[in-house]
Amino acid sequence: MRKQMMLKGLLPTMVLFSTQVAALPFQSIDPRSLGMGGTGVASGSSANAGFMNPALLSAAHEDEDFSLELPIIGARFNDPDDLIDAVDAYQDNNLEANLDTAIDNFNAAPDDANAAVVANAADAILAQLRKFTNKPVQGELVGGMVIGVPSKKIGASLTLNGYAVGGGRFDLTDADLALVEGILTDARNGTADLASNPDVQGQAVGNDVVDKLSSGLDARGALITEVGLSLAREFNIGGHAVAIGVTPKLVKVKTFDYFLDTNTAELDIDTGTREYDDFNLDIGMAKDFNNGWKLGVVAKNLIANDYETVLGNVIKVEPQLRAGVARSNEWLTLAADVDLVENEPAGFDSKTQYVGLGAELDLFDWMQFRAGYRYNLSDSDTSIPTLGFGFSPFGVHMDVAIAGNGDEMAASFQLGFRF
């Protein structure tokens, strides 16, 4: 008996263990940043300096002495062309089973009426396959922890984080087009032509037509783990106090590369993998003007690396450059960040060059409300509004954030202790 199409169940798993990355989009899924439109290069704190800008360890608020953030978790899923809905329709309408049954009935009683049923079933399956070919689906899963000690003299933080960035795209093969179109044409021509179709004849002896379908999901990916030690110090440069920070980090990359056809019953993540051990570096600067204004700039992943998959595709991790500005007082923070370079995708995603706008309202130092908007200069369809909330009594911080625009959804949670 043929296997049922499993792509509906595999898509969420595939997203977590595969990727379309080239130059990874600059974004942090820590909830404060996510809730404020992805900003943080100037508006961040010691709690997320290792993610956004290490220089903030020496440009933090005076009342920050120590932070322990554990856990930090976040997820993002993006289905811009409604691939999941298309796969749902394909399976919920039993299109493969309908074609299978129609051909069996025709072989049992070859006449024009049964040929018409085969034509309708072939036309339906072909139309639905065409609806979701070349449509991407993407996502991220992030987890991490931070131990931070800010100081203008020597600020330091230890960051451990792992993330899987995922994506895939359905590929309708020429062979499937020829197979189904051939059956459709012969069925419309009538009983004689359909009865002589070799694929229809083959099903009569147990070679089901739907088992010959070779279309499926292309998926490439990487699971990346980083251990970074951020160090920062405030320097006097031309009479101006400027904080400079660096984050050397050890990086482990595990790439994935799969093709999942329509008859795939399960995904084995131990196959199609390749592992790399590497090193990279982030450098940031921040200037606190001591009047509520703060500027920041950061360069992440300064060492460009190419990681080849088992199928010969290349996943690139390239330098990222971002600038930010923030204005804060005791109860309100406004922030804006912009990518200074465009990130080119290697696979299924669109280009990214983000502008982020965010605001945080801090009530009584123990409750924070956040809102923001992230706009993609390269592709406005991927812009997204964001919301966040923080609760921080007695040095304990709990932060959550969500973002969504119908196609893309993201959420994150963080528990921290700051003194």
Domain boundaries of the chain, sorted by first residue? 25-80+145-160+222-256+268-418, 86-131+173-212
Confidence of residue 21 (pLDDT cuts 50, 70, 90): very low
Render pLDDT for 326-336 as a digit per residue (tens, 0 to 9): 999 999 999 99
Assess whether the previous peptide bond of 80 is cis (omega < 30° from 0).
no
Measure the CA–CA gap between 291 and 322, rounded to whole angstroms: 23
Confidence of residue 402 (pLDDT cuts 50, 70, 90): very high
Confidence of residue 220 (pLDDT cuts 50, 70, 90): confident
- R_g over Cα of the chain: 26
Which of 190, 173, 193, 282 has its CA nearest to residue 229?
282
Q: What is the DSSP string of 234-274?
A: EEEETTEEEEEEEEEEEEEEEEEEEEEETT-----TTSSEE
Give me the amino acid identity at 345: P
pLDDT of res. 311 = 85
Render pLDDT for 164-211 as a digit per residue (tens, 0 to 9): 887 788 888 889 999 999 999 999 999 999 999 999 999 999 999 998
Give me the amino acid identity at 61: H
Provide the mean pLDDT of the chain: 86
Indicate if the pLDDT at residue 8 is higher than 70. Answer: no
Render pLDDT for 102-122 as a digit per residue (tens, 0 to 9): 999 999 999 999 999 999 999
Measure the CA–CA gap between 258 and 267, rounded to whole angstroms: 9
Hey, what CATH topology would domain 25-80+145-160+222-256+268-418 get?
A: Porin (2.40.160)
Render pLDDT for 59-74 as a digit per residue (tens, 0 to 9): 866 666 789 999 999 9
Measure the CA–CA gap between 161 and 216, rounded to whole angstroms: 32
Measure the CA–CA gap between 88 and 7, rounded to whole angstroms: 9
